[in-house]
Amino acid sequence: MTAVQVWQFFLSGLTTGGTYALIALGFSLVYNATGVINFAQGEFVMLGGMITATAIAAWGLPLWLAALIAVAITTVVGLVLDRAAIRPARHSSVVVLIIITVGASIFIRGLASIIWGPNERPLPAFSGEAPIVIFGATITAQSLWVLGATLVTALIMWAIFEYTIVGKAMRACAINPHAAQLCGIELSRMVSWSFALAAAVGAIAGIVLAPITMAQYNVGTMLGLKGFCAAILGGLGNGLGGILGGLVLGVLEALGAGLVSSQYKDAIAFIVLIIVLLIRPSGLLGREGGDP
């Protein structure tokens, strides 16, 4: 095992890690606004990739327009999920809400398999297939797109939460819903916003990832669970923590798959999750003693 190989695993891990980070961001957005762990988050990722691939292949649209349509449709799906299933059950127990989001994820996946069938959908890389060499390791240009999208999305999210009224109101709701309502913030509107943003972020992750892994109706489940892992790893509800968690998870997974065993790649994320929960139960950047 040479240093170049490790460096190679590190770089490819960073790429998948970027996707996990975006998914984790979606988990945190919904969790902060509602306290709900949205197990349908992975399906937003699937929808983003599938809709873009279809729009390009079947309708012949340019990439930017296809991506825009994918984000828009996924956002609507997120809003409908909130209105139809989460809002009526707002005051139910955590278990009930978990089952509802899992039911929603099964429902969306089932519809996707009927609409698109079981085949994988290829999506061409955004800027060619030529590999780029960085200190002896090669990565594709698409990997840079993933990392770039992660960075830009994270910055946009940060700007929204820091500088816009809606973002500040959402933060207020996360800190104390009752006090926020007393200040005249309409909680249900903020919840809608958080679902819309989470769905959009998920769709973006799906779009930039699709050229690397191909889009398929059933990719959402595992991606969602890994993103959830990343969110916990970084401290659930902590946006920056989620991004850090995603990148760490992606790198550890790639290193584990490359150095230990590629067969158990899918288990590595969860082994890391359990070890972290045992050592540092509130996650890497979570508050000490905070409730997940």
214 in contact with another protein (CB under 8 A): no
Q: Given the rule CB under 8 A, which of 47-55, 59-67, 93-101, 179-187 is the region that contacts another protein?
A: 93-101
Using CA atoms, how far apart are residues 108 and 76, in angstroms rounded to an integer? 13
Please list the helix, strand and coil fractions of the chain in percent, rounded to the nearest 5, in that order: 75, 5, 20
**Residue (168 or 265) nearer to another protein, CB:** 265
Question: Is 232 near another protein (CB under 8 A)?
Answer: yes
Alpha helices in 164-261 (DSSP H): 165-175, 177-182, 187-213, 220-234, 239-259
Quick check: 110 binds another protein (CB under 8 A)?
A: yes
Choose between 207 and 230: whose C-beta lies nearer to another protein.
230
- Least distance (Å) from another protein to the CB of residue 27? 12
Question: Is 45 in contact with 224 (CB distance < 8 Å)?
Answer: yes
Q: Is 110 helix (H, G, I), strand (E, B) or coil?
A: helix
Q: Does 92 bind another protein (CB under 8 A)?
A: yes
Q: Which is nearer to another protein, 53 or 104 (CB)?
A: 104
Site membership for another protein, residue 188 (CB under 8 A):
no
Q: How far is CA 161 from CA 106, 158, 228, 248, in A?
A: 31, 5, 21, 24
Task: Give dist(CA 152, CA 199) in Å, integer.
Answer: 16
Site string for another protein, 23-62 (x = CB under 8 A): ----------------------------------------
Cβ atoms 279, 230 nearer than 8 A: no
From residue 261, give the alpha-carbon distance in Å to each of 18, 87, 137, 268: 22, 43, 20, 9
Question: Which of 57-65, 142-150, 194-202, 226-234 is the region at the interface with another protein (rule: CB under 8 A)?
Answer: 226-234
Q: How many residues bind another protein (CB under 8 A)?
A: 42
From 21, 66, 108, 248, residue interacting with another protein (rule: CB under 8 A): 108
**Token digits for 51?**
């809709």
**Judged by CB, which is closer to another protein: 40, or 190?**
40
- Contact predicate 239/194, CB 8 Å: no
Q: Which is nearer to another protein, 200 or 233 (CB)?
A: 233
- Contact status: 260 vs another protein (CB under 8 A): no
Terminal Cα-to-Cα distance of the chain (whole angstroms): 39
Cα–Cα distance, 141 to 131 (Å, whole number): 6
Least spacing, CB of residue 197 vs another protein, in Å: 22
Binding mask 113-152 for another protein (x = CB under 8 A): xx--------------------------------------
Cβ atoms of 192 and 186 closer than 8 Å: no
Positions touching another protein (CB under 8 A) are 85, 88-89, 92-96, 98-100, 102-111, 113-114, 221, 225, 228-229, 232, 263-264, 266-267, 270-271, 273-274, 277-278, 281, 289, 291-292
